[in-house]
Amino acid sequence: MASQSAVVDHLSEAELFERWSDRWDHFLDDFSAASSSATVSERLRDKVKSGNAERAIAGGHEGREILELLQNARDAIPGDTDGGRVYVGVYDEGVLVANTGHPFDMFDPDVEDAVTMIGESSKGNSDQEIGHKGVGLKSILATGDAFEIWTRHESATNETLRVRLSRSYVTAALLSSLGYDTTGFDLRGAVSNEAIQSLTTASNADQRTEELTQDAREDIGKLPLFDFPVPLTTASGTDDPVADRASALLTGDVDEWYGDPFRTAVFVEYEDTEWRDLLEAFDIPLPESSDRGSAGRISRRRLTAKTRRVKR
């Protein structure tokens, strides 16, 4: 009997955001201004393991992370088409890779799991989705601190989903839950979901009575990047030229002729200044693999911004 492809139950945007807000809520609910340093370290144990695993994966792919992004972009282009296009833009802030293939389908629970979890992959389901290599995506930590996804998808509001993966949000939210004042730190973009917005900005400011030990601070610095996605509005401005470029590539609002608008753009940000500023302000050390600064990443930035046709 011929095998039949499994039907994937896609999430609505509301269901996807509820999945993320529940994850945020479940995590932050374990902490309060009264949490001792020992309690903080104990309750962060699993997240520290996830963060360490992400950094180990990145270390194992060091030198290949840009190739991983290009391969994922190529894999997103359907095999039954004559060709597709991949755009690579190199900026002072990071690397932007766009493609004309399938969307980055975060509304597929298998793809979402592959991106946000360790040991999960949707590779067995399809090799046509840019998000099918969760391990490959995690290799970007060898090049950058943060990661953004822009994709045109019929399930998204205004048909475009923008997701930012940055440890600045979860670090600020955790410190706030522990009674520290993080209100002076402006985080990137406007969060598009009210529930997640409230969780990332809730504050128990200045209620902390016992300073965290250095061990607990080190554990906070080791939080994973991919566990806590944050949906942002697609609005961009003069202070965010890369976001402006990603939006333009997806809408076709560019001066250059690239043909039809691109479907997906992913951005690897070399240094997440919001996250690093938070760590410095609260005397939290960088995790070991991030402590190299930008010097060790320069050789992997020598790409030329270009568009090319990919033959299948």
Average pLDDT over residues 177-193: 88
Q: Which amino acid is at 22?
A: D
pLDDT for 9 equals: 82
Q: Model confidence over 42-68: pLDDT tens digits?
A: 999 999 999 999 988 887 766 666 666
Residue 216 scores a pLDDT above 80: yes
Where is pLDDT greater, at 16 or 85? 16
The more confident residue out of 288 and 95 is: 95
Give dist(CA 165, CA 138) in Å, integer.
Answer: 11
Higher local confidence (pLDDT), 198 or 65: 198
Output the pLDDT for position 306.
41
Check whether 139 has a pLDDT greater than 60: yes
Cβ neighbourhood burial of 8 (10 Å; 0-12, 13-18, 19+): middle
CA 215 to CA 174: how far, in whole Å? 16
Rounded (5°) CA angle 135-138-143: 135
pLDDT band at 101 (very low <50, low <70, confident <90, very high): confident
Angle, nearest 10°, between helix axes 13-28 and 167-177?
40
Six-digit token string for 24: 């945020």
CB 109: neighbour CB atoms within 10 A? Answer: 17
Q: Does the pLDDT value for residue 251 go beyond 50?
A: yes
- For the chain, the structural domain boundaries read 13-311
State the Cα–Cα distance between residues 162 and 234, nearest whole angstrom. 6
Neighbours of 120 (CB within 10 A): 15
